[in-house]
């Protein structure tokens, strides 16, 4: 029995060493460790072993069983590790390639930021059409028929065979939205209106035939110039930081009286000295505009303002040329 077990162990180890893949290992396992394998057979014959030899034979049986099982486990690990992987080679720990994703255009971001700051001061966002009529672009805003601002040289009029009585144009200012809101709503009114405007200017570093403005209008009982100044000051500080300042320079617009140009003193970057930048116009709504839009100027007063959004974006992000904002060069857009 002892000899037989030693033989099984030798044969087993030799054959195991020659098993080079999972299939031959499995065959070996059935031959040696399986239910009908050689060790099981030897175990069955254990009964026939004379009594006095049983302890030695039993110990040997256990030892061979253990030795073959361990050898099998070790060999299996070796063969498994050496085996070429089947299926696709995938390393799930490898960092992926980040697909280039877009971002909001700088002008749209500034526009959103401006609306947000004014929303905190109680202004809602209003909207109006870019294809306008002369009434909303000029007449209701107290710009008389012979005013030079109406000149075809300074505006994009649109041929519209259906509207010969109501000539159309691409709006030249967002002040049109003031007229539209006042026509349809009763005060109190507090709106901002961001949007595109069009003027046939020759394109250069500071001019474009299309740009963006944000208009503001506040109408209520007892609104004064002090309210306008306070609102503009609060806006400047909220958007450009606590050191921002504003300056109003007397000016003229047909739809406001008095009227002013608005400058803001802003540090364009942290650490830069603040400097004055002209942002647009403002003033107290002219009573003639209220009357034209159906609001009683004896009861209501209001202020209005209009800023250039490109101006603000260029000042804030140090963009030297307005054309960069419209060329959609991704190398530029990725930086601002």
CB of 285 to ligand DAH, least distance (A): 7
Question: CB under 6 A: which stretch of 48-56, 107-115, 275-283, 323-331 binds ligand DAH?
Answer: 275-283
Show the tokens assigned to 11: 């044969």
CB of 280 to ligand DAH, least distance (A): 5
- What does 319-331 look like in DSSP terms, one character per residue? ---GGGGTS--HH
Q: Is the peptide bond before 120 cis (omega within 30 degrees of 0)?
A: no
Show the tokens assigned to 59: 């110990």
Q: Where are the extended beta strands (E) located within the chain?
A: 124-125, 131-133, 156-158, 168-170, 189-198, 210-220, 245-253, 256-266, 275-285, 301-308
* Residue (of 216, 221, 283) closest to 256 by Cα position: 283
Question: CB under 6 A: which stretch of 5-13, 123-131, 252-260, 311-319 binds ligand DAH?
Answer: 252-260
Is 194 a residue that touches ligand DAH (CB under 6 A)?
Answer: no
Is 37 a residue that touches ligand DAH (CB under 6 A)?
Answer: no
Closer Cβ to ligand DAH, 28 or 253, answer by number? 253
* Residue (of 66, 77, 74) closest to 32 by Cα position: 66
Place of tokens 């100027």: 297
Residues 6+ apart with CB under 8 A from 279: 262, 263, 264, 307, 308, 311, 312
Is 304 a residue that touches ligand DAH (CB under 6 A)?
Answer: yes
Is 235 a residue that touches ligand DAH (CB under 6 A)?
Answer: no
- Of the candidates 256, 295, 322, 336, which one interacts with ligand DAH according to CB under 6 A? 256
CB of 115 to ligand DAH, least distance (A): 16
Is 175 a residue that touches ligand DAH (CB under 6 A)?
Answer: yes
Is 301 a residue that touches ligand DAH (CB under 6 A)?
Answer: no
Between CA 272 and CA 276 the distance in angstroms is 13
Between CA 107 and CA 32 the distance in angstroms is 78
Is 198 a residue that touches ligand DAH (CB under 6 A)?
Answer: no
Buried b (16+ CB within 10 A) or exposed e, 164-174: eeebbbbbbbb
Place of tokens 């809602």: 124
- Of the candidates 167, 194, 283, 302, which one interacts with ligand DAH according to CB under 6 A? 283
CB of 251 to ligand DAH, least distance (A): 8
Is 253 a residue that touches ligand DAH (CB under 6 A)?
Answer: yes
Show the tokens assigned to 317: 């992000």
CB of 103 to ligand DAH, least distance (A): 29
Binding letters toward ligand DAH, positions 90-119, x by CB under 6 A: ------------------------------
Question: CB under 6 A: which stretch of 68-76, 87-95, 106-114, 301-309 binds ligand DAH?
Answer: 301-309
Closer Cβ to ligand DAH, 259 or 301, answer by number? 259
> Which residues form the interface with ligand DAH (CB under 6 A)?
173, 175, 215, 253, 256, 259, 280-283, 304-306
């Amino acid at each position: 029995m002892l000899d037989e077990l030693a033989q099984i162990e030798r044969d087993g180890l030799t054959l195991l060493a020659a098993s080079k893949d999972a299939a031959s290992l499995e065959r070996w396992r059935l031959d040696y460790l399986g239910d009908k394998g050689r060790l099981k057979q030897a175990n069955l014959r254990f009964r026939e072993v004379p009594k006095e030899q049983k302890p030695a034979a039993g110990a040997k049986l256990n030892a061979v069983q253990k030795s073959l099982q361990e050898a099998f486990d070790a060999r299996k690990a070796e063969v498994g590790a050496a085996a070429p992987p089947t299926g696709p080679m995938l390393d799930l720990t490898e960092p992926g390639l980040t697909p280039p994703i877009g971002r909001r255009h700088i002008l749209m971001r500034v526009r959103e930021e401006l609306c947000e700051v004014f929303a905190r001061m109680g202004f809602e966002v209003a909207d109006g059409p870019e294809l306008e009529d002369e009434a909303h672009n000029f007449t209701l805003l107290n710009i008389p028929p012979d005013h030079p601002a109406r000149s075809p040289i300074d505006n994009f009029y649109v041929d519209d065979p259906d509207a010969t009585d109501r000539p159309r144009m691409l709006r030249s200012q967002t002040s049109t939205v003031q007229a539209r809101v006042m026509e349809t709503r009763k005060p109190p009114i507090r709106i901002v209106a961001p949007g595109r405007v069009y003027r046939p200017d020759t394109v250069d570093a500071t001019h474009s035939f299309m740009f963006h403005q944000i208009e503001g209008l506040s109408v209520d009982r007892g609104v004064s110039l002090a309210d306008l100044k306070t609102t503009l000051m609060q806006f400047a500080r909220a958007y450009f930081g606590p050191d921002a300042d504003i300056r109003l320079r007397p000016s003229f617009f047909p739809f406001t009286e008095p009227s002013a140009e608005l400058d803001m003193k802003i540090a364009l970057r942290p650490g830069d000295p603040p400097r004055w930048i002209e942002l647009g116009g403002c003033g107290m709504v002219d009573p003639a505009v209220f009357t034209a839009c159906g609001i009683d100027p004896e009861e209501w007063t209001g202020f209005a303002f209009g800023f250039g959004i490109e101006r603000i974006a260029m000042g804030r992000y140090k963009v030297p040329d307005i054309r960069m904002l419209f060329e959609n060069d991704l190398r530029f857009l990725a930086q601002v």
